[in-house]
Amino acid sequence: MLLFLVLLIVPAAAQSAPNQQFDQVTSKEFLQQLLQDGVYNFISSGIAESLVIHRVEPVLPHGDMMPRVSGTVIVAFELNKDGKVRHPMAVSGPKLLQAPVLAAVKHWTFKPYMLFGEPTTVATSIQLTVSNF
Q: What is the pLDDT of residues 51-93, one digit of tens each?
A: 999 999 999 877 767 788 889 999 999 999 999 999 999 999 9
Phi then psi for residue 79, to 5 deg, are -115, 110
Count the neighbouring beta carbons within 10 Å of the beta carbon of residue 105: 20
Q: What does the pLDDT look like over 6-49, one tens digit per residue?
A: 444 444 444 444 455 556 656 788 888 888 888 889 999 999 99
Q: How many domains does the chain have?
A: 1
The model's pTM: 0.76
Is 103 in contact with 61 (CB distance < 8 Å)? no
**Which stretch of DSSP H or E encloses residue 130?**
strand 122-131
The enclosing domain of 110 has a CATH number of 3.30.2420.10
Domain that holds residue 92: 2-131
- What ranges in the chain are assigned the alpha helix state H? 2-15, 24-37, 45-50, 95-105
Phi then psi for residue 108, to 5 deg, are -70, 150
